[in-house]
Amino acid sequence: MRVPTYLCYSMVYCTHMTIKIITVGNKSSQTHQAIIDDYMKRFPRYVTVSWTCIKHARGDPSSSISQESENILKKCDSKDTVILLDETGTQLTSLLLSKKLFSGPQDITIIIGGAYGVSEAIKTRADFIWSLSKLVFPHQLVRIMLAEQLYRSYAISIDHPYHHS
């Protein structure tokens, strides 16, 4: 397998990459979490993927968006590349997603907003707004789809056969 040069100086010394996923909602059910964990354990030790759940805010849609977005922004590091999952974003092929995620050294934060969306502050903070589909999916399914696409993107970046199996 070819290992991207930005990840490894050699097969022994690797540059660490962090992907942080911030999602609004309850923790995943055991069934859903088992599927997510299956993809997460496939990453090598130099790629760390972490998940942070932020509770739904109570109140009307406007105040929920405001509270949730404020809590999300508190979890974003200023140096990270921020990708917002939003149905209005740009749809990508798996190959383009792989290039976007694994084409250079960067730490990435991916945001999955709440049921009512996110504030303009988050849209402005996002370096890229990505749409999985024009369709709307339940949060639990989005998490599984994201886990799979992250692993698929990584597999593409190292020419692993997973993408075509």
- Summarize pLDDT for 58-68 with one digit per residue, the tens: 999 999 999 99
**For the chain, which residues make up each domain, given as ranges?**
17-158
User: For the domain with range 17-158, which CATH number is right: 3.40.1280.10, 3.40.50.11540, 3.30.950.10, 3.40.640.10?
Assistant: 3.40.1280.10
12, burial (CB in 10 Å: exposed 0-12, middle 13-18, buried 19+): exposed
pTM of the model: 0.88
Instruction: Please report the pLDDT score of residue 9 as a whole number.
Output: 38
The Cα diameter of the chain in Å comes to: 53
Beta-bridge partner residues of 108: 19, 81
Whole-angstrom distance, CA of residue 135 vs CA of residue 123: 19
